[in-house]
Amino acid sequence: MCRIHPDESRCEYQSRREKNGDPVGGGGGGGGSLTVWKKSSMSFQGTDGFTVFDDRGRLVFRVDNYSRRGQCASGGGGLVLMDGVGNALLTLRPKVLSMQCQWHAYKGENDYGKKTPNLRVFSMRRSSLLFHNNSKSEAEVFLGGRVKHGQAPDFTIEGSFTRRNCIIRSSTGEIAAKISRKRATTTVLLGDDVFCLAVQPGFDPELAMAFVVILDRICKKAYKPVLCS
């Protein structure tokens, strides 16, 4: 049985830290290669979410979701990104009736009904609903408080999240992180529920994982039962 936590040689993408021979690991803005496990509600008794492991197999992030609310226009469905021991890092909430599936991230565990724009870490929205298939960008991220009309995004997510093949790129064009498929061996590619998140040194893995959680919501296809063989 294949391990769930990362094996650097089996990721399609390696961070600069790995190429330089430096140790990898999540947290602290140091970059590294993480393995993200997307949990299915079919096998986890009514909950879905994420568990994230570093290269040593340590649990570094988790998200537990007990409701299928949280589609872009539902108005509910806030999610909490936690560290490995359950401390709340960021609360992720959808904007009610957002035409571009916009979400906000707040520090710590934030009450959904409480307006605290001063605690907002970033806002993220899908690039386009009408012309998404012709767009190079999946989503746009704006750091800080309220997003002003015409404001340029601080980060863009390019590629296809549903195919587990996308890049998180800063406004200066630098790659901050990359999401890619994970291999069990050199010839066996794992399913979409297990994938690699490679974070560049200097970019916060906490932010990268928050982007992943929101991408999973705004890029979600209609739910279909999956049978195990």
Note the pLDDT tens digit of each residue in 142-168: 999 777 888 899 999 999 999 999 999
Query: Which residues make Cβ contacts (< 8 Å) with residue 86, sequence separation at least 6?
Result: 62
Question: Which residues are CB-neighbours of 225 under 8 A, at least 6 positions away?
Answer: 42
Cα separation values, 226 from 40, 176, 229, Å: 9, 32, 10
**Does a structural domain hold residue 224?**
no
Q: What percentage of the chain exceeds 70 in pLDDT?
A: 63
| In a domain? residue 2 | no
- Number of folded domains that form the chain: 1
Measured CA to CA, the distance from residue 114 to residue 103 in angstroms comes to 15
> What pLDDT, on the 0 to 100 scale, is given for residue 209?
97
Tracing tokens 């879905």 back to the chain, one arrives at 48
Give domain status of residue 26, yes or no.
Answer: yes
Q: Is residue 1 part of a domain?
A: no
Percent of the chain's residues with pLDDT above 90: 43
Question: Is 228 within the bounds of a domain?
Answer: no
Structure tokens given for 78: 């806030």
Give per-residue pLDDT as tens, 71-108.
444 445 689 999 999 999 999 998 876 666 889 999 98
Which residue range(s) make up the domain with 116? 8-218
Please give the radius of gyration of the chain, using alpha carbons only, rounded to the nearest integer: 17
CATH number at residue 130: 2.40.160.200
* Chain mean pLDDT for the chain: 75
Residue 28 within any structural domain of the chain? yes
Model confidence pLDDT, tens digit, residues 105-134: 999 887 655 556 668 999 999 886 554 444
In-domain check, residue 78: yes
Is the pTM of the predicted complex or chain greater than 0.85? no
Asked, for residue 206, whether it belongs to a domain, the answer is yes
